[in-house]
A and B are shown apart, each in its own frame.
Chain A
Amino acid sequence: MSKYKHLEELRDDIYTCVRTRCGFCIQECPTYNSGLFESFASRGKMLQAKGLLEGELELSQELADSVAMCAMCGYCQAKCALQTVDVFKAIRAELVEAGFTLEGNDVVKENIIKVGDPLGSGRQRKQDGDGEYVLYLGCAYRDRPTDVDRILKILSKLGINPTIDEESCCGNALYYTGYKGAFEESKKRFQEVYKAHLNKKIITICPSCQLTLHDFFGMENVVFATDIILENIGKLKIEKNGDKVTFHDPCHLGRGCGDYDKPREIIERLGFDLVEMRLNREFSQCCGGGGGLQATSQEVVKDSADRRVQSALDTGAKYISTICPTCEATLFRASLSVSKEEKKLGTGRRIKTKDIWQLIEMVMMD
């Protein structure tokens, strides 16, 4: 037995990887493709975990920096039969408990605990609804009022005018960056701030919030926006335009919640021509926005998002769509920069990012 209690629970998976070494996890890993050391991919991290269990490696700031290079996207897990993401979380938890953290992640943690918002603004939005639904905006949308206005307008057309009330962050970022204690604290904070609504019908519009509330907190009364849209899409008056759209699966919606079909059905019912990228559904490639990378390595986020947009360009689609505020933001920036590069090269290729809400807005008739 080693001194690492979180890793010990995963010993069998770690040593099974050592026995296997198939390497199916490596080539499409977003952080591996940015850094090119095996340690940035799952197979290398499994050997790091082994090194810790055997005392060959010690916890250190250098290890924390290395292990932070992971979007926790779960691609490796989909290519495997092992709980790879749990192993990375366990290494991160051991590091956090030993005091080896990254400044960017510490700031996120402090903000969540103090003001219930990883970005620190603490901005809230409130409105009284006229029905049974409460809309949980989540931190990313609380700072994006224009986007929320659009979503509310669409929900209204779908016959839903939800209540919006004061929120506290679900803590998803803490869950994946190894702050186990802080995650429990943030859960309590969420439950306290949101106590009036915990048993109501809650709609989420961010896949990370959906995964956390539904799967990690066990709240069966939480539904994701795709369910609500599909249930009511018949109420929308639509002018179909047939533009080609490719859909980027948000990791937490697809691999996390298992929702691959609903967003695609929405896009098709809106009248768009859906085309698939090379990597899609369970094996979708991450945009780089997860796992704490936003706070610790913008360069890797940009690299990953650029690769994803390049893949979207290869489909010939006019739009890359998604339904996640983090993915939308990273892909939006990447589609601008990649399209600019393509213009310089004179390829004539360009693409725009439009999330599903924007696609609905495009074809929705007043």
Chain B
Amino acid sequence: MISSDKLKQAYDLLKPVLGARVSVAKEHRMSYSRDWSPRHDKDNDIPDIVAVPRTTEECQEVVKVANKLEIPVYSFAGGTGMGGGVQAWKGGIMVDTKGMNQILEFDEKNMSVRVQAGMTIWHLNEFLAKHGMWLPHQPESKQASTVGAAINCDNDSTFGVKYGKIMEAMTSCKVVLGTGEAIEFGHRKAMMSSTGYNIMHLFVASEGTLGVVTEATLRVNYLPKTRNVMGFYMRSIGGACYACEELMTSGVQLESLHINDRQRLFFYTHSYRVKTGKEPDVPDWADAILFVSVAGDSDMVDFMSTKIRDKFKDIGAEVKEQEIVTGYWASKHTLDFEPFKQKWPDSQRERKFGAADPGVPIGNVPAIHDKFVELSEKYNQKILGMTVYNECPQKLSPSISFAIFVDDKDPVNVENFYKFVKEMSESAIELEGTMSTYIGDGDRLGGFNKLEHGKSFEYVRKIKSLFDPKNIMNPGKKFESRWIK
């Protein structure tokens, strides 16, 4: 609980800097009380102050005030996080970074763009498309999710198997640290550096616990001329994984690679159901449904498509109903939903989406899928299904979404969801993997994540105190959990 005196002082200091873009009115603060993480539907974490800086300098002023008064600061962006990473449960100042949404430099020759971190990935790509380019880091949330959010959350990308995630694109970033200093980290427009330490990398997945990322320089790519998206029913999940690895070894450059279990497909066939009035007919023998895309010049795309079909013909069957493939791709990339019938709300009218997001090595994917089925049953969680995303260039690199439908009207069900996450995380460690690959610690894995880091966790603490000595940046995350004890 922060004293009302402190909050008044903070507001009085920020008002001259931000004018109408700072507020203590509950009407505004209420709007920042939730992200997309599973919790009881009545839960609210309402910040004490909301501030919307438009520049790094304004953001510095906010953090300096917070530092002086020792008030927590949270960076808010797309608000679509699944781990409670922006929940202001310790009170304080919510910095809505979306006000920093300008392109600062477009260097076409060097294929580089400098942006304010509050720009959405969607808007950035609209801009780049005019120049025949794109930022291939493309999370499904890209209409709301920002460049800063991609850095802070290290979220997944639809095209990770070809281009990697945001770290592969970022060459430099500016961060307002917990002290209020604004420091540039990185290597200008060069793609890598072997001098000093790669401190910039620390901000990827830092969840705003080290500072507020306000600007970034990103290497962008030419837009491929054509793309082919294909779906395949596969006999087994493990078989699908190895077949894809072999495909890439053979020289096929996959652009996206998502392996779903049977149940998960139904989450992506909303438009199919709307158009046909029925569920897709999945063959009984299929344990997995694989979606891949290849992109480039049309002759290359045709060639690679033929190779893929050849590879899978004995271990699966192509999804012939184009509506299933189009619907899936709309969910993953185009977001081209029929007006007034967008998928996300319709799919969560009764229960909400929740997920554990471990990463395991290729050979252990079937084992952790078995665990998923077992733990869902144990904790009475309704299975939504698994998707194995692949997020490192040209290799099977599982970043897995084990999704369930949480009954957010039932506190016991929510509690059980986090027990499910806890055991899935423990299983991931046993299977030589990691607890989280794209959601982050948020307010769920903090402290419990020592199980993964062991002795090195002390260095995580030291790094935190180096950048944020007063522990004001997004407290209640990474080092403590509200849900998993």
Q: Measuring CB to CB, which residues of chain A are less than 8 angstroms from any residue of chain B? A: 12, 15-24, 26-27, 35-39, 43-45, 47-48, 50-51, 54, 56-57, 60, 62-63, 66-67, 77-82, 278, 282-283
CB neighbours of A57 from chain B (8 A) = 26-27, 30
Q: Measuring CB to CB, which residues of chain B are less than 8 angstroms from any residue of chain A? A: 20-21, 23, 25-28, 30-36, 41-42, 44, 46, 50, 52, 78-80, 96, 98-99, 120, 122-123, 126, 141, 143-145, 335, 339-346, 348-349, 351-353, 408
| Interface contact A16-B349, CB-CB below 8 Å | yes
| Interface contact B144-A26, CB-CB below 8 Å | yes
| Interface contact B340-A48, CB-CB below 8 Å | no
CB neighbours of B98 from chain A (8 A) = 26, 36
CB neighbours of A12 from chain B (8 A) = 349
CB neighbours of A43 from chain B (8 A) = 31, 79
| Interface contact A66-B52, CB-CB below 8 Å | no
| Interface contact A51-B30, CB-CB below 8 Å | yes
CB neighbours of A62 from chain B (8 A) = 25-27
A67-B30 Cα distance, complex, nearest whole Å: 13
| Interface contact A18-B52, CB-CB below 8 Å | no
A21-B80, A27-B144, A80-B342 known; 16 new pairs, CB 8 Å cut-off, are A15-B41, A21-B34, A22-B141, A22-B144, A22-B345, A23-B78, A23-B143, A24-B344, A36-B96, A37-B52, A47-B34, A50-B44, A51-B30, A78-B340, A80-B345, A81-B342
A67 closest partner in B (C-beta): B27
> Known contacts A66-B27, A78-B340: does B143 contact A17 (CB below 8 Å)?
no
CB neighbours of B340 from chain A (8 A) = 77-78, 80-81, 282
CB neighbours of B408 from chain A (8 A) = 19
| Interface contact B339-A17, CB-CB below 8 Å | no
Can you give 11 A-B contacts (C-beta < 8 A)?
A12-B349, A19-B351, A21-B35, A21-B79, A22-B344, A24-B144, A38-B31, A47-B30, A48-B27, A66-B28, A79-B339
- Min CB distance A256 to B, Å, is 12
CB neighbours of A54 from chain B (8 A) = 42, 44
A57-B30 Cα distance, complex, nearest whole Å: 8
B349 closest partner in A (C-beta): A16
A44-B44 Cα distance, complex, nearest whole Å: 13
A81-B351 Cα distance, complex, nearest whole Å: 16
B123 closest partner in A (C-beta): A27
| Interface contact B344-A20, CB-CB below 8 Å | yes
CB neighbours of B344 from chain A (8 A) = 20, 22, 24, 81
A39 closest partner in B (C-beta): B31
| Interface contact B348-A20, CB-CB below 8 Å | yes
B339 closest partner in A (C-beta): A282
CB neighbours of B26 from chain A (8 A) = 51, 56-57, 62
A54-B409 Cα distance, complex, nearest whole Å: 13
CB neighbours of A19 from chain B (8 A) = 41, 345, 348-349, 351-353, 408
- Min CB distance B81 to A, Å, is 9
- Min CB distance A178 to B, Å, is 16
B340 closest partner in A (C-beta): A78
A17-B35 Cα distance, complex, nearest whole Å: 11
Among B30, B34, B348, B408, the one with the most A-chain Cβ atoms within 10 Å of its Cβ is B30
A13 closest partner in B (C-beta): B345
- Min CB distance A10 to B, Å, is 13
A17-B30 Cα distance, complex, nearest whole Å: 14
Among B27, B79, B335, the one with the most A-chain Cβ atoms within 10 Å of its Cβ is B27
> Known contacts A37-B31, A38-B96, A44-B31: does B36 contact A20 (CB below 8 Å)?
yes
| Interface contact B339-A78, CB-CB below 8 Å | yes
CB neighbours of B78 from chain A (8 A) = 23
- Min CB distance B446 to A, Å, is 21
Among B26, B36, B44, B345, the one with the most A-chain Cβ atoms within 10 Å of its Cβ is B345
| Interface contact A81-B30, CB-CB below 8 Å | no
A18's partner among B27, B41, B339 (CB-CB below 8 A) is B41
A136-B457 Cα distance, complex, nearest whole Å: 73
| Interface contact A39-B27, CB-CB below 8 Å | yes
CB neighbours of B44 from chain A (8 A) = 50-51, 54, 56
CB neighbours of A51 from chain B (8 A) = 26, 30, 33, 44
CB neighbours of A23 from chain B (8 A) = 78-80, 141, 143-145
CB neighbours of A77 from chain B (8 A) = 340
Among B31, B44, B50, B144, the one with the most A-chain Cβ atoms within 10 Å of its Cβ is B31
CB neighbours of B353 from chain A (8 A) = 19
A207-B242 Cα distance, complex, nearest whole Å: 59
A67-B31 Cα distance, complex, nearest whole Å: 12
Among A23, A24, A67, the one with the most B-chain Cβ atoms within 10 Å of its Cβ is A23
| Interface contact B342-A38, CB-CB below 8 Å | no
A43-B32 Cα distance, complex, nearest whole Å: 10
A19-B23 Cα distance, complex, nearest whole Å: 26
| Interface contact B339-A24, CB-CB below 8 Å | no
CB neighbours of B141 from chain A (8 A) = 22-23
A82-B34 Cα distance, complex, nearest whole Å: 18
- Min CB distance A179 to B, Å, is 21
CB neighbours of A18 from chain B (8 A) = 34, 41
A192-B304 Cα distance, complex, nearest whole Å: 71
B339's partner among A60, A67, A283 (CB-CB below 8 A) is A283
CB neighbours of A21 from chain B (8 A) = 34-36, 79-80
A15-B79 Cα distance, complex, nearest whole Å: 16
A38's partner among B32, B42, B143 (CB-CB below 8 A) is B32
- Min CB distance B347 to A, Å, is 8
A15-B43 Cα distance, complex, nearest whole Å: 12
> Known contacts A15-B41, A38-B79: does B25 contact A66 (CB below 8 Å)?
yes
> Known contacts A27-B120, A37-B52, A282-B340: does B30 contact A48 (CB below 8 Å)?
yes
| Interface contact B345-A81, CB-CB below 8 Å | yes
- Min CB distance A56 to B, Å, is 6
> Known contacts A18-B41, A20-B345, A80-B342: does B80 contact A27 (CB below 8 Å)?
no
| Interface contact A278-B126, CB-CB below 8 Å | yes
CB neighbours of B23 from chain A (8 A) = 37
CB neighbours of A16 from chain B (8 A) = 345, 348-349
| Interface contact A48-B31, CB-CB below 8 Å | yes
CB neighbours of B28 from chain A (8 A) = 37-39, 44, 66
CB neighbours of B145 from chain A (8 A) = 23
| Interface contact A17-B27, CB-CB below 8 Å | no
A365-B145 Cα distance, complex, nearest whole Å: 52
A346-B120 Cα distance, complex, nearest whole Å: 29
A21-B79 Cα distance, complex, nearest whole Å: 7
B353 closest partner in A (C-beta): A19
A74 closest partner in B (C-beta): B340
- Min CB distance A313 to B, Å, is 14
- Min CB distance B271 to A, Å, is 12
CB neighbours of B80 from chain A (8 A) = 21-23
| Interface contact A17-B345, CB-CB below 8 Å | yes
A9-B30 Cα distance, complex, nearest whole Å: 21
